A and B are shown apart, each in its own frame.
Chain A
Amino acid sequence: MFEFKNISKKYKSLDGDKIVFDSFNFKIHDNDFISVIGTNGAGKSTLIRLLVGDESIDSGELLLDGHDIKHDNSYIRKKRIAKVYQDPSKGTAGEMTILENLSLADNKGSKFGLKFAIRKKNIQRYKEMLSELNLGLEDALHRKVKELSGGQRQSLALIMATMNRPELLLLDEHTSALDPKTSDIVMQKTKDIVELHKIPTLMITHNLESATKYAKRLVKLDNGKVILDIDIRDKRILDGIKLF
């Protein structure tokens, strides 16, 4: 379980300090699939950046199973926390092939030594994983990733982020750069993978339909505060709630 405990964060600017979080408290449970919504500046992206260590925490504790990981380097945290970015190119290596990308992701958390990166015994497993996407990628293992479409590349990034079953999956508006049809396909793949591997997930989105359709829990942030935190598996609960 991840827990933000009395977290404070402010940005310094010429116009004075901008407080994003002030004594912020929030928990992510092991079986959560949380959609986080909110207007620009509400603190959604900062929430993710604090989790993965791309931004430092001014005060408070960031607990993972009771241990404060606040001082861990970003790359150390990322061994346990996976992230799929808004930009499909950020989660993959464009100059490398699909097979090379998968081989890299498969070794996440282990030592990168002088063994050959591609192991033949794993290729069939990769093909099976890719065939579940139904995008034809299983027949394109030797194709450079930069030649793929945005949807194909984001689907690959999703596979790469989840193939080692991270302790937390962060989705940072990961379908917002895709067209509506592709976005739906990637979103469904996301749900399938998350449910299959039981990965706690926190998804930032501006798409209210996705937020309510795929997640179990809906959280709304406003000026660094949680102003709504509901279980949305019972869709009736959404009736009458004004989300935006």
Chain B
Amino acid sequence: MISTIVEGLVFAVMVLGVYISYKILDFPDLTVDGSFTLGAAVFSTSLLNGLPVSISIVLTIGAGSIAGFVTGYIHTKFKITNLLSGIIVMIGLYSINLRIMGRANVNLFTVEHIFSSGNELLTIAIIIVVVKFALDVFFKTQLGFLIRLVGDNINLIETLGCDSRKYKILGLMLANALVAFSGGLLAQYQGFADINMGTGMLVMGLASIILGETIFKKLSFVQLSTAAIVGSIAYRSTLALSIRLGFAASDLKLITSVILLSILVINKRGLNIPNISLKRNREVSESCLNSKI
């Protein structure tokens, strides 16, 4: 049970990254599949080369943000569609990740890392609280507001006298930095980094987000980041339950597809689970009914 929660929280950092690209930027970013492994590769290689954890984190986040920058630059500079831009970078990252690791699989059993202290749940809980708090605060700043506009009304960014391309790229850098960090965390938690560990990350992230949103409907912006985290844990729990029910590990991709499809169908049919509306929204709705237009 605890290991499922820890895993869910490790992946939640990635889910928050996907949440930024997919929900906030309205950019289905396939770079994620490559930048997750990139994070694992950079973190592992840094630790194995004797660098301290703090420096390794900085390098991992930096590498992820560079991947996001390249995707954003290709998309905005050369007018290549978001899907293709992500695919191009994802494919390129496969070779880069192999070069960074030197081989397809490296283990971290011999080095000290974040989870070496033993209390994995506490460690990852602190990390996720810090990341969530930092993101919630960031998206309340002027810069955060502009990045939110990318997916909401990108023309408004230009109307405000700002270059919309810059903020799309910044958003992708932030998203992929989180994804890479998550990859680095997973490598430490499981004790190894593998060249294929990023495969399917975007779909997993989307499934978690949709699951989280289904559980917490109609919440305010800040609470949606909580929904993404809860969605990640719920998703991992579902997979863990599947294993307990006797499914093979090789069936998990199929189970992911079924989960995703089921949630989407449930949402389409309007099967509302808790409909938590804010009291304040009800009050303002009533006041607006009295308006002239």
**Once the chains are docked, how many angstroms separate the CA of A61 from the CA of B287?**
50
Interface of A is mostly: loop
Given A115-B142, A142-B281, check contact A75 B163 (CB 8 Å): yes
Binds B, one of A83-91, A195-203, A220-228, A233-241: A83-91
Most chain A CB neighbours (cut-off 10 Å) among B138, B143, B145, B161: B161
A155 at the interface (CB under 8 A from B): yes
**Once the chains are docked, how many angstroms separate the CA of A104 from the CA of B290?**
27
Within 132-173 of B, Cβ neighbours of A (below 8 Å) are at 138, 140-146, 148-149, 151-153, 155-164
Quick one: closest B residue to A82, CB to CB? Answer: B159
Given A135-B291, A143-B285, check contact A104 B156 (CB 8 Å): yes
Binds B, one of A1-9, A94-102, A211-219: A94-102
Q: Is the CB of B161 within 8 A of A96?
A: no
List of B residues within 8 angstroms of A105 by Cβ? 160
* A116 partner, pick from B141, B280, B287, B290, beta carbons under 8 A: B141
**Once the chains are docked, how many angstroms separate the CA of A95 from the CA of B221?**
9
Given A95-B148, A108-B160, check contact A117 B287 (CB 8 Å): no
B269-284 contact mask (Cβ, 8 Å, vs A): 1 or 0: 0000000000011001
Within 56-93 of A, Cβ neighbours of B (below 8 Å) are at 73-76, 78-79, 82-83, 89-93
List of B residues within 8 angstroms of A134 by Cβ? 292
Q: Is the CB of A93 within 8 A of B161?
A: no
A128 at the interface (CB under 8 A from B): no
* A112 partner, pick from B143, B153, B156, B285, beta carbons under 8 A: B143
Q: Is the CB of A185 within 8 A of B293?
A: yes
Closest Cβ–Cβ distance, residue B128 to chain A (whole Å): 22
A114 at the interface (CB under 8 A from B): yes
**Once the chains are docked, how many angstroms separate the CA of A155 from the CA of B288?**
14
Q: Is the CB of B160 within 8 A of A116?
A: no
Given A90-B155, A94-B152, A95-B148, check contact A79 B161 (CB 8 Å): yes
Q: Is the CB of B152 within 8 A of A96?
A: yes
Q: Is the CB of B281 within 8 A of A91?
A: no
Closest Cβ–Cβ distance, residue A192 to chain B (whole Å): 15
A109 at the interface (CB under 8 A from B): yes
Q: Is the CB of B159 within 8 A of A118?
A: no
**Once the chains are docked, how many angstroms separate the CA of A109 from the CA of B141?**
16
A169 at the interface (CB under 8 A from B): no
Q: Is the CB of A117 within 8 A of B141?
A: yes
A151 at the interface (CB under 8 A from B): yes
List of A residues within 8 angstroms of B158 by Cβ? 74-75, 78
**Once the chains are docked, how many angstroms separate the CA of A115 from the CA of B143?**
8
List of A residues within 8 angstroms of B285 by Cβ? 140, 143, 147
Within 214-239 of B, Cβ neighbours of A (below 8 Å) are at none
Closest Cβ–Cβ distance, residue A17 to chain B (whole Å): 24
Q: Is the CB of B140 within 8 A of A148?
A: no
Closest Cβ–Cβ distance, residue B165 to chain A (whole Å): 9
List of A residues within 8 angstroms of B157 by Cβ? 75
Within 149-171 of A, Cβ neighbours of B (below 8 Å) are at 149, 151-152, 155, 161
**Once the chains are docked, how many angstroms separate the CA of A140 from the CA of B285?**
7
14 A-B pairs with C-beta separation under 8 A: A73-B163, A76-B161, A93-B148, A93-B153, A94-B152, A96-B148, A104-B146, A104-B149, A107-B160, A108-B160, A115-B141, A136-B288, A142-B281, A152-B291
List of 4 A-B pairs having minimum Cβ-Cβ separation, nearest first: A79-B161, A136-B291, A151-B293, A140-B284
